[in-house]
Amino acid sequence: MHPPSPTTTGKKFSQAGSIVRLKFTNFMQYKDTEFSCGPNLNVIIGPNGSGKSTIVNGICLGLAGKTSVLGRASSIAEFIKVGEDSAAVEVELFQPDKENVVICRMWDQGGKTNWTVDGKKAGLREVERLVAKFRIQVDNLCQFLPQDKVHDFSRLNSKGLLDSTVDAVGEVELKEKHKELKELQKGMNEGGELFERKRQMLVEKTEQCRRLEEDVKAFDEKAKIEKKITQLEGRMVWSKYQEVRRITKETKERSNQAKKRWEEQEVKMNPLKAALNEAKKKKAGLESKLQTFNGSIKDCMGKAKTHSQNIEKLEEGVEAVEEELEEIDRREEEKKAEMRRIQTLIAEMEAEYNSTEDDTSLGPQLAEARQAAMVTQAQLGEVKTERENLRYEQGNLVRLVKERQAEVVELNNVDRQKLDVLRSKSKETYEAVNWLRSNRDMFKGEVYEPFIVCGNVMDPAQAKYLENCINIRDLTAFFFQDAEDMNTFLNCVRNQKGLKKVSAVKVPDMESKEYQPNIPSTSLAQYGFISYLREMVTAPDSVLAYMCHNHKLHRIPVFKAEAEKFNDKLINEFGLTKFFIGVKLQTVSGSMYSSAKTTMTKEVVGNNTLQVSKDSTRERQVKEEIAEKEREQEQLSIRARSVDDKLRTLNVELESARKLHKDLEQKKNFRARHSAKIEAQRKLLRQQMAESSMEREKEEKVANRKGMVVRMVKSAQQLQAAIAEANKVRMAMELCRLAAQPLEEIIEEKVKAYEAAVESVKEMKVEMENMARELEEGMQALGAALREAKAATGVGQKRDEPPTEVVQVWEKEKFPSRVEDIEVMITELQAQAECMDTVDPRIVADYNKLKETIIELQQDIDRREAIMADSVNKMQEVKEAWLTSLSSLVERINTKFSAHFASMGFAGEVGLSTGQHEDDFENYGVKIRVKYRDSEPLQELTAHHQSGGERSVATALYMLALQELTTVPFRCVDEINQGMDAKNERRVFELLVRTSCSETSAQYFLLTPKLLPGLNYSPRMNILIVNNGPHMCHHTDWNMEAFHDRAAAAEEGARESSGTLGGHLGMVMSGGNCL
């Protein structure tokens, strides 16, 4: 636990949940600040922007409040001090008879929050329960009124004001009773409407039921007759079944007799049938042998064919060997002829050699020719080296030109990237750009594409500044010099193309150079000035002029992050109203009531709209490099052509020198060269003679031919054997065929005899089949009759008898058993039924449903009458208790409020509003009526009837009226005196001091940028002065006792001029983190 701060030592806290101490770490303006609070009125005073409202924000967020309560930012990460990664707020709450409770909230840039209670890790729900236990309500405007929510108080309707008031005074029972009354009233309203509908429905259903009774009686009488007819029909189908069963039984007996006679005749035919089968069996055996013989013949013929094919192949092989032998003889003759040619050539070359001598006088000429060839060879090498160097340089230049050309293409490819960005922001604008590029000749004046496309931010890192200054509409708008062109364009794209979201603007007639900053760049250079937004972007001059005219790009400077220490100087001395420092946007606005200025700080976050930019300077530089390299290429080409000409000349000279050297060399060494040629021919002759003779190859071919002839003879023998075997099988097959011919005649005779016998019993078989069909039809009829009977009445214990209870009904009604008698009785009953009126069965069903519905409705009505009676009694009981307590509370508030208003010379009252009627609990509320001039009537406090100062007075006095009634631990109001005149501000402050500085009063925080001179102060007050500046010391270094000594020394003089100064004085240095 933290020890009590010196500034609160001796201060006695009484309200549980009062704020004892606050500590901020990296929270908005505060780096590391801790200070203590008083138990009664705490006045926090300091200039705008110093960090007063930050204390209110810290109280709200530190006590589990939402950022929406403050109305400043949507994300808690925006409350972290610029340049830091995390922040923390620590709140110490008073707890009687126990150690104080310390709640600490820590969060980072990602919005993740960690909570601790008394140093132990806790969850959000635990902290919310703890705060609720102390009756702290940071979302209740009657308890917690931050700066940006002051004017919301007067906008509260009567219902909202009632709820906030009850919450603020801590009347939990009142709130619960009000909620119970609203639920009871809602249930009664809904139940009453349903009750009346059900009663009306009961009357209607009863009348409907009465009208249907006569029809239902007639339907029942006719139903009895129809039931009796149905019973007779059941009796008739069973009678029919008995008759069909008797007839079927007789048919079955006759069928059995016919079958017996046919079977006896069949037995007499068996010997003839057996003889016929035996003959057929023998014939089948002979046919099987014939098939076997036929297969054997096929096998023999197959073997003969195979041997014949082998003989043909061997004959072809023999012919091929004979051709090879002829080829060997031919090559042998060619070899002998070649040897004779070589021998003749050797003899001729030897004769020439013997008749010729060497020329020894050619030595000097040969040396001179060799030297000339070597010189020319050296010159040629130098020229080739020069040519290779030129080719290398040309290759380098070609590569460099290609690289630069690729860079130009990449730079120009930025246009496609920009179009992709435009399409992601507005697809219709993207389509309009494509249309414009195809139809630009329609317009007489200049037309510029959207700024996303035609604008170029020279440094993409600076694009975020322009994105935070130019709205998306102007970033996607088309720019026209001529108004008629603009109307034509909008008509085409919006009406004809259906691109309704495309926008266009007319550029100003001025040039962009006419827009100059009001503060020269040189004056800002020493403060970390980078440049104005105008210098960060290039675009067509008319487009830049439009952006300067509408968005003041020429007057919005950008500074380095280090320039934050000059923030006040830039605002107060240079009068800047909008500028960037690092990643922060500073916007300065003035108060309509004073010369005070308010600064709003916002983190600068880019949206990737203008980050794609084309470097025109680089493109121009690259194109110049390409032109220079192309000129160098031309010069190298000229040099290369000259070197090629020189190279060709040297090649010709070298070839001539080499030819001369060769001719001289040949003349000088003729005998040596000729001797070498003769030796080469002799060597060739020896090789020819050394080659093996072809006799061996010839012998092998002859042996191969002999083997093939032997195989041919063997195959011919096998062919003869196969043909002989086939002839033998054919002979056996012919004998078998001759043996089978008599059997065919025998079988034919026996078949005729058998067919004659079959014809004799044909009539018996026909008779038997007719009887079988008749029996089958009888069985089908019997089955159909039984199914019909079952369908009519069901079956009894036996499957072919009716149920016992059905038989008993037949006997009771004395139904006849003959079908004819039953048909007569059915006809009579049907005639009676036809004479009666026909009633729709649905009427009877509706009647039965109506009877059931009437019973259910009557039971439901009785139950609801009892419930409504209980609800009325319950609501009256709760209403009396709630209305008595609520009226008493409103009357006490009215007494305080009226007294406060009367003390200031005004009139005001607080009353209870009951809505449309006395039981309209949903619309009960509290209305504040005030008047500030005698000539005016009392008027309800709204956001429209009174001025801002008058609303502030009423708000302050209402909260003071609640101060002595409330059970909440503290109340917080931020700059409520803004807009009050000096007189009202003084009166309100005196009332506040008098009301909130009593010993039993709850803790009160009042935040204000100023206080009037000569105010009276109470010893129970605690005054915190918030200072901000670069030279503030840390709060732990601040010596409050020394400050008190100096203040006491000057107190006498101050007392004489401005009244008595009491209370406790403290300092909060937000810039230097000093308390």
How far is residue 954's CA from residue 931's CA, in Å, rounded to a whole number?
A: 10
How far is residue 546's CA from residue 567's CA, in Å, rounded to a whole number?
A: 29
Phi first, then psi, for residue 166 (nearest 5°) are -65, -40
For residue 762, name the pLDDT band (cuts at 50, 70, 90).
confident
Which has the higher per-residue pLDDT, 214 or 720?
A: 720
pLDDT beyond 90 at 115: yes
Closest by Cα among 91, 148, 90 to 1003:
91
Query: Which residues make Cβ contacts (< 8 Å) with residue 259, sequence separation at least 6?
Result: 768, 771, 772
pLDDT at res. 547: 93
- Residue 83 region by backbone torsions, left for phi larger than 0, else alpha for psi between -120 and 50, else beta: left
The label of the residue with tokens 């509370």 reads: 889
Mean pLDDT of 841-852: 74
Mean pLDDT of 426-447: 92
- Look up residue 619 and give its two tokens: 């493109």
For residue 1069, name the pLDDT band (cuts at 50, 70, 90).
very low
pLDDT at res. 436: 93
For residue 9, name the pLDDT band (cuts at 50, 70, 90).
very low
- Look up residue 665 and give its two tokens: 């060399």
How far is residue 35's CA from residue 473's CA, in Å, rounded to a whole number?
A: 48
Closest by Cα among 500, 479, 499, 494 to 431:
499
* Bridge partners (DSSP) listed for residue 43: 1006, 1023
In this structure, are residues 629 and 393 in contact, taking their beta carbons and an 8 Å threshold? no
How far is residue 473's CA from residue 452's CA, in Å, rounded to a whole number?
A: 11
The rounded mean pLDDT for the chain is 78
Give the H/E segment covering residue 865.
helix 841-903
For residue 1075, name the pLDDT band (cuts at 50, 70, 90).
very low
182-191, 256-265, 584-593, 656-665: which range is least confident on average? 182-191
Mean pLDDT of 112-135: 89
For residue 741, name the pLDDT band (cuts at 50, 70, 90).
low
510-519, 632-641, 690-699, 946-955: which range is least confident on average? 690-699
Which has the higher per-residue pLDDT, 270 or 1006?
A: 1006
- Look up residue 156 and give its two tokens: 């509260």
pLDDT at res. 1070: 44
Which has the higher per-residue pLDDT, 1059 or 89?
A: 89
In this structure, are residues 123 and 115 in contact, taking their beta carbons and an 8 Å threshold? yes
Residue 709: C-alpha distances to residues 585, 702, 726 (Å): 115, 11, 26
How far is residue 103's CA from residue 119's CA, in Å, rounded to a whole number?
A: 8
Phi first, then psi, for residue 1005 (nearest 5°) are -115, 120
Other beta carbons within 10 angstroms of residue 514's beta carbon come to 12
pLDDT beyond 50 at 724: yes
Mean pLDDT of 597-619: 80
- Look up residue 153 and give its two tokens: 């108080």
Mean pLDDT of 702-717: 79
pLDDT at res. 353: 67
106-115, 1008-1017, 1057-1066: which range is least confident on average? 1057-1066
Closest by Cα among 1069, 1067, 1073 to 1028:
1069
Triad 181, 182, 183: Cα angle to 5°: 90
In this structure, are residues 108 and 138 in contact, taking their beta carbons and an 8 Å threshold? no
Please report, to the nearest 10 degrees, the dihedral formed by the alpha carbons of residues 24, 30, 31, 35 taken in order. -50
Mean pLDDT of 578-583: 92
pLDDT beyond 60 at 1062: no
pLDDT tens, position by position, 31-52: 888 988 988 889 888 887 778 7
For residue 610, name the pLDDT band (cuts at 50, 70, 90).
confident
Range of 160-169, 292-301, 559-568, 883-892 with top mean pLDDT = 559-568
Closest by Cα among 928, 932, 929 to 904:
932
How far is residue 436's CA from residue 839's CA, in Å, rounded to a whole number?
A: 80
pLDDT at res. 1054: 60
For residue 595, name the pLDDT band (cuts at 50, 70, 90).
low
Mean pLDDT of 236-265: 78
Residue 134: half-sphere exposure toward Cβ, Cα within 13 Å: 30
Which has the higher per-residue pLDDT, 382 or 114?
A: 114
pLDDT beyond 50 at 5: no
In the chain, the amino acid numbered 522 is T
Mean pLDDT of 252-258: 80
How far is residue 131's CA from residue 141's CA, in Å, rounded to a whole number?
A: 16
Which has the higher per-residue pLDDT, 147 or 649?
A: 649
pLDDT at res. 1061: 43
pLDDT at res. 502: 93
How far is residue 999's CA from residue 26's CA, in Å, rounded to a whole number?
A: 35
Which has the higher per-residue pLDDT, 337 or 190?
A: 337
pLDDT tens, position by position, 943-976: 677 777 777 777 777 776 666 666 678 878 777 6
pLDDT at res. 671: 59
Strands 584-590 and 597-603: antiparallel
In this structure, are residues 623 and 476 in contact, taking their beta carbons and an 8 Å threshold? no
pLDDT at res. 698: 73
For residue 826, name the pLDDT band (cuts at 50, 70, 90).
confident
Range of 163-172, 692-701, 707-716 with top mean pLDDT = 707-716
pLDDT beyond 60 at 359: no
Residue 583: C-alpha distances to residues 65, 402, 955, 1026 (Å): 28, 41, 39, 26
Closest by Cα among 147, 141, 165 to 55:
147
Convert 28-65 to b/e letters by CB count within 10 Å (16 or more is b).
Answer: bbbbbbbbbbbbbbbbbbbebbbbbbbbbbbbbbbbbb
Mean pLDDT of 929-950: 78
In this structure, are residues 1001 and 995 in contact, taking their beta carbons and an 8 Å threshold? yes
pLDDT at res. 508: 93
Compute CA 757 distance to the chain's CA centroid, rounded to the nearest angstrom: 93
Query: Which residues make Cβ contacts (< 8 Å) with residue 898, sequence separation at least 6?
Result: 907, 908, 909, 910
How far is residue 164's CA from residue 152's CA, in Å, rounded to a whole number?
A: 13
How far is residue 434's CA from residue 613's CA, in Å, rounded to a whole number?
A: 19
Phi first, then psi, for residue 528 (nearest 5°) are 80, 25
* Percent with pLDDT over 70 in the chain: 83
pLDDT at res. 179: 76
pLDDT tens, position by position, 11-25: 688 888 889 999 999
pLDDT tens, position by position, 858-881: 777 777 777 777 777 777 777 777
In the chain, the amino acid numbered 923 is N
pLDDT at res. 107: 92
Query: Which residues make Cβ contacts (< 8 Å) with residue 644, sequence separation at least 6?
Result: 387
* Percent with pLDDT over 90 in the chain: 14
Phi first, then psi, for residue 850 (nearest 5°) are -60, -40
pLDDT tens, position by position, 891-906: 877 887 777 777 777 8
End-to-end CA distance of the chain: 20
pLDDT at res. 357: 55
